[in-house]
Amino acid sequence: MPYPYQIKSYDQYKADYKKSIEDPAGFWGEIAENFTWRKKWDEVLNWNFTEPKVEWFKGGKLNITENCLDRHLEKHGDMPAMIWEPNDPEEHHRIITYKKLYEKVCQFSHVLKNNGVKKGDRVCIYMGMIPELAIAVLACARVGAIHSVVFGGFSAQSIADRLYDAQAEYIVTCDGAFRGAKDIPLKSVIDDALIGNRTVKKVIVCTRTRTPVSMIKGRDLWWEDEIKKVETMGLHDFPAEEMDAEDPLFILYTSGSTGKPKGVVHTCGGYMVYTNYTFVNVFQYQPGDIHFCTADIGWITGHSYIVYGPLSAGATTLLFEGVPTFPDASRFWDIVDKFKVNILYTAPTAIRSLMGYGLGPLQGKHLNSLKVLGTVGEPINEEAWHWYSEHVGKNNCPVVDTWWQTETGGTLISNMAGITPAVPSWATLPMPGLEMVLVDEKGQEIIQEGEETISGNLCIKGPWPGILRTTYGDHERCRTNYFATYPGMYFTGDGALKDKNGFFRITGRVDDVLNVSGHRIGTAELENAINMHSGVVESAVVGYPHDIKGQGIYAFVIYQGSHGQDTHGTAEMIRKDLNQTITRIIGAIAKPDKIQFVSGLPKTRSGKIMRRILRKIAEGDLDNVGDISTLLDPTVVEEIKRGKL
Ligand code: WTA
């Protein structure tokens, strides 16, 4: 068997789980033996959750790209590593073998080196979903630079903040990106982000849309020209930089309940072992299978299950540039049939949105290559789960509901396809190595008695190899965010149920983080953006249930003159202005679905906004806003209720 650690039965899962909890170091040490190390680790695990400090395979030397590329060359060099499907179905797709991908990564590694990139340098990558994005990511890893991929939907201001936080000196971008009917002018957004920037030395621009771009002498370089130089010199190999297992591999920014997004840091060894292990086990990957993860590489799902997990397992990974509804709502099904996709991994939002088109787009599609379906990013409702299983999987494919986070590196709770039981809308069982507990508000572990189902805040008692190590440049923030709420435990920020079988059902965030279409948005971050709009006095943002997006964004805004009307126009025009400000500061993904102008917000006497009340109003549960007697001015509640959108 190619993956000796692939779990093959429910009994084996139970045995492996037990072993992993009793002896984590023994368990993960054995799995790590299946990778290419230049030097073996000194110690499998060293940790405490007080500082916090977590080290896996410390002293072990490796380069993750030798595991993703070099080690597959001899036996599988001619196998497709990556299939790329462009946005426009009329344009030709690309198939890149392991040999070819190796060569391309080596060439771009030379380009990075020629331009001064060294081990430990931060490289910001802002590109559309083209193979060169994955190549840039892997080339950074090969030279030992720390990549920070920023999703193509973020604004110039968001990029500027991330460049500053990471003190990034290099950027890799494209002229533009195609997404559905849109062209996104990536380089122009980068140019805006660079106004006033003092750290960035070089910007490498890959051609995709050939939209006009400004190219500044000495700073901006064309990808193709740089590659040509390397080709002329006949360079096809690049000796990978030797990394310690605990050297940082990448930073990925994600929203939390306070302040600006934080840079989650993952390291080389543990992240590699964990993404590979979960990829092979959750999806039950078999050599030759075509794996199609529809996420963008700009999110953790793309990092772990388009790039590192599949490639370290020698798999074939499919990269799709476009969107599920372009040119029409059959696009996913056409791609599945065109490439005989075996594993399809997508988000509940995409499923719900495609459900809205009815069964027409599925007509005449075979989908008979599919073996496994997966979901990620948000809770999946039963209706969407059944639709996916029945109409896409033809009742013939296990559906894996994978729960995890940017901070966890890979899946923590999920059924394993066809191996452990699936229950609609339940993520079910923890991966081996994970001791998950539910705690009450005071941090007391909730103990299950008999067959009862318990409910609480989801925490984890010890480390797994894919856990974040720090938040870039601010370790204290990492501690307070994840390890201080419930001392001695990692707090996920999610609430969950646990039933008599030990299965978990994730109920959603319990902190001030929204999950809109599977994208994390911090309410504090969004309120800061809204408050920057001139005329806004104060604002409060809450989530409410949304049929397609899972959660919608509802903003309550106190605007000068309170009703959102001033000399600049009607409330509707002011709403558009506000959206423009949010798009500039964060990006279009953070635009509220509803903006209600109010003259006051429900506050306690100490000035704290009572979001619980606003949440009830946004949900439309007007009769159950609860006790309002402690409010400074209870009359605002009636006014807000009357004005509900
Ligand atoms: C939510 C995405 C329910 C959860 C990989 C988590 C889920 C946040 C699921 C992390 C799931 C993710 N069921 N909820 N299967 N998967 N979530 O960092 O609230 O973008 O905390 O990572 O998404 O979002 P992130």
d(CA 458, CA 495) in angstroms, rounded, equals: 5
Which two tokens mark 335?
Answer: 């791609």
| Residue 321 pLDDT | 98
| Reported confidence tier of residue 180, pLDDT bands at 50, 70, 90 | very high
Give residue 301 CA to ligand 1 midpoint distance, Å.
10
d(CA 212, CA 203) in angstroms, rounded, equals: 16
Average pLDDT over residues 310-317: 98
pTM of the predicted structure, to 2 decimals: 0.96
| Residue 562 pLDDT | 57
Residue 195: count of CB within 10 angstroms of its CB: 8
Helix or strand holding residue 197 (H, E): none
CA-nearest residue for atom 15, ligand 1, is 403
Choice between 161 and 606, residue whose per-residue pLDDT is larger: 161
User: DSSP labels for 464-517?
Assistant: -TTS--EETT-HHHHIIIIITTTTTSEEEEEEEEE-TTS-EEEEEESSSEEEET
Instruction: State what percent of residues in the chain have pLDDT above 90.
Output: 93
| Residue 607 pLDDT | 86
**Residue 371 Cβ contacting ligand 1 at under 6 Å:** no
Going along the chain from its start, the domains and CATH numbers come out as 10-494 (3.40.50.12780), 517-642 (3.30.300.30)
Which two tokens mark 23?
Answer: 């002896």
| Residue 561 pLDDT | 66
Ligand 1 atom, smallest distance to 427 CA: 15
Average pLDDT over residues 505-528: 93
In angstroms, what CA-CA distances link 583 with 132, 157, 299, 526, 630? 27, 9, 19, 10, 36
Helix axes 98-114, 223-232, angle to 10 degrees: 100
Which two tokens mark 429?
Answer: 């069982």
Give residue 341 CA to ligand 1 midpoint distance, Å.
24
Ligand 1 atom, smallest distance to 380 CA: 13
Ligand 1 atom, smallest distance to 513 CA: 19
Average pLDDT over residues 586-605: 94
Which two tokens mark 607?
Answer: 């000035």
**Residue 392 Cβ contacting ligand 1 at under 6 Å:** no
**Residue 401 Cβ contacting ligand 1 at under 6 Å:** yes
Length of the chain: 645
| Reported confidence tier of residue 569, pLDDT bands at 50, 70, 90 | confident
**Residue 378 Cβ contacting ligand 1 at under 6 Å:** yes
**Residue 415 Cβ contacting ligand 1 at under 6 Å:** no
Instruction: State what percent of residues in the chain have pLDDT above 70.
Output: 99
pLDDT tens, position by position, 316-365: 999 999 999 999 999 999 999 999 999 999 999 999 999 999 999 999 99
Which two tokens mark 472?
Answer: 């870039």
Among 403, 462, 461, smallest CA distance to 429 is for 403
pLDDT at 581 over 60: yes
pLDDT tens, position by position, 266-286: 999 999 999 999 999 999 999
pLDDT at 627 over 90: no
| Residue 257 pLDDT | 81
Backbone angles phi, psi at 83, to 5 degrees: -110, 135
Burial (CB < 10 A; 0-12, 13-18, 19+), residue 205, is buried
3-state helix, strand and coil shares in percent for the chain, rounded to the nearest 5? 35, 25, 40
Across the chain, mean pLDDT equals 96
- Dihedral sign computed on CA atoms, order 60, 64, 70, 72: positive
| Residue 490 pLDDT | 98
Q: What's the CA angle centered on 621, arms 615 and 624, to 5 degrees? A: 90
Q: How many CA atoms lie within 13 A of 528 on its CB side?
A: 14
Coil, helix or strand at residue 14: helix
| Residue 121 pLDDT | 98
Backbone angles phi, psi at 137, to 5 degrees: -60, -50
Choice between 486 and 570, residue whose per-residue pLDDT is larger: 486
d(CA 493, CA 406) in angstroms, rounded, equals: 12
In sequence order, the 6+-apart residues with CB closer than 8 A to the CB of 393 are: 367, 370, 373, 399
547, 381 in Cβ contact below 8 A?
A: no
| Residue 564 pLDDT | 64
Q: Which of 1-5, 444-448, 487-491 has the least mean pLDDT?
A: 1-5
**Residue 376 Cβ contacting ligand 1 at under 6 Å:** yes
74, 102 in Cβ contact below 8 A?
A: no
Among 145, 138, 126, smallest CA distance to 100 is for 138
Coil, helix or strand at residue 91: coil
Ligand 1 atom, smallest distance to 493 CA: 21
Indicate the DSSP class of residue 67: I
**Residue 403 Cβ contacting ligand 1 at under 6 Å:** yes
d(CA 179, CA 334) in angstroms, rounded, equals: 17
Among 185, 219, 193, smallest CA distance to 204 is for 219
d(CA 506, CA 421) in angstroms, rounded, equals: 16
Q: Which of 20-34, 96-110, 512-526 has the least mean pLDDT?
A: 512-526
**Residue 303 Cβ contacting ligand 1 at under 6 Å:** no
d(CA 72, CA 207) in angstroms, rounded, equals: 29
Q: What would you report as the CA-atom Rg of the chain, rounded to the nearest whole angstrom?
A: 24
Ligand 1 atom, smallest distance to 375 CA: 15
| Residue 630 pLDDT | 85
pLDDT tens, position by position, 93-143: 999 999 999 999 999 999 999 999 999 999 999 999 999 999 999 999 999
CB environment 537-565: b (16+ within 10 A), e (fewer): ebbbbbbbebebbbbbbbbbbbbeeeebb
pLDDT at 163 over 90: yes
Backbone angles phi, psi at 12, to 5 degrees: -65, -40
pLDDT at 491 over 90: yes
Give residue 195 CA to ligand 1 midpoint distance, Å.
34
| Residue 606 pLDDT | 85
CA-nearest residue for atom 4, ligand 1, is 378
**Residue 405 Cβ contacting ligand 1 at under 6 Å:** yes
d(CA 553, CA 541) in angstroms, rounded, equals: 7
Instruction: Tell me the pairing of strands 170-174 and 202-206.
Output: parallel
Average pLDDT over residues 307-320: 98
140, 124 in Cβ contact below 8 A?
A: no
Average pLDDT over residues 561-578: 79
305, 293 in Cβ contact below 8 A?
A: yes
| Residue 2 pLDDT | 86
pLDDT at 566 over 90: no
pLDDT at 563 over 70: no
**Residue 481 Cβ contacting ligand 1 at under 6 Å:** no
